[in-house]
Amino acid sequence: MNYRHSFHAGNSADVVKHALLIALVRALQLKDSALTLIDTHAGCGLYDLAGEEAGRTGEAAGGVLRACAAADPLLDDYRAAVRAVNEGAEPRFYPGSPRFLAGLLRPQDSLILNEKHPEDAGALRAAMRGTPAAIHQRDAYELWLAMLPTRTPRGLVVVDPPYEQTDERARITATLAAAQRKWAHGVTVIWYPLKDRAAHARWKDKLGRIGAPKLLNVEHWLYDDDQPGIYNGAGLFIVNPPYAFTQGLPPLLEALRASLAPEGHKGKITADWLDTAASAPRTARPRGR
């Protein structure tokens, strides 16, 4: 599945991903020690919702525009980050993960961004001008391992590829397994689109075999039943999420589900621990529907 960020900027998957990223970083920042934040597939950093690519899909209408119109205060931090790159009441521009992460930095934290695509890397440098981000243009999976263990005591790696390559999931699985051997205590977030349930179940089984002791799987299904051939939602695998994040997750997931469900559908967001011992998913707290 080809999932270029620019075509899907500000859609429901972005809203869930970025709202959870904010909550995750804030939970990690409850401790004073420095954090290194790494984004392996950083994209352009900032997207024009009125531009040709985002305008072609119009997916922001079911994502950021819904979230900005929602009244739930649990989405206030997310809305504030979107407003920070816009002047008007309705968002014209959408911040990618690099801008969300940059807005969360404390003086002791650092941000490392990587984007291999030359055109996108140039746009990323322009979008991050004035921030302390270090920007690389390397193979994402090579950089992922090269940066581990992080120089600071704690860190977060965000892996958010476009899934253009047929071996993308295999590379993620292999690199995460290697990363666990180098950096077993680190926090890693892997984003993915949901389209084929059977293929996804096979991938989940493989991830369950890598030996990560704490692997949380958050899935957002937009529709009440499968919609063949279209984008059905997205999910996140989160390795080693901190306790403060998991405790606050259920109400945030419910706020996201309620604000993003398409007309005529309730939608569903679940949060389950992957049972790495049995290589099969098991239900555990937190859980939101």
Using CA atoms of 18, 23, 28, 31 in order, give the dihedral in degrees to the nearest 10: 140
Cβ(136)–Cβ(40) below 8 Å? no
Mean pLDDT of the chain, nearest integer: 89
Distances 261 to 16, 56, 82, 87, 153 between C-alpha atoms, Å = 12, 21, 20, 27, 39
Residue 199 domain-assigned? yes
Residue 287 domain-assigned? no
pTM: predicted TM-score of the whole model, two decimal places: 0.91
Residue 63 domain-assigned? yes
Residue 177 domain-assigned? yes
Residue 136 domain-assigned? yes
Predicted local confidence at residue 287, as pLDDT: 40
Whole-number percent of the chain with pLDDT over 70:
90
Checking if the pLDDT of 280 tops 60, the result is no
Residue 281 — very low, low, confident or very high, per pLDDT cuts 50/70/90?
Answer: very low
| Structural domains of the chain, count | 1
Give which of 218, 220, 148, 231 is closest to 186, Cα–Cα: 148
Residue 10 domain-assigned? yes
Tell me which residues are annotated as active site.
160
Residue 15 domain-assigned? yes
Beta strands in 104-230 (DSSP E): 110-114, 134-136, 154-159, 187-194, 215-221
In the predicted model, what is the mean pLDDT of residues 187-204?
Answer: 89
State how far the Cα of 193 lies from the Cα of 179, in Å rounded to an integer. 22
Tens digits of residue pLDDT in 99-118? 999 999 999 999 999 999 99
Checking if the pLDDT of 276 tops 70, the result is no
Beta strands in the chain (DSSP E): 35-39, 46-48, 93-95, 110-114, 134-136, 154-159, 187-194, 215-221, 233-239, 268-275, 280-282
Whole domain around residue 242: which residue ranges?
5-282
User: Residue 270: phi, psi to the nearest 5?
Assistant: -120, 155
Residue 289 domain-assigned? no
Give which of 94, 66, 102, 77 is closest to 20, Cα–Cα: 77
CATH number of the CATH domain containing 146 = 3.40.50.150
Predicted local confidence at residue 233, as pLDDT: 86
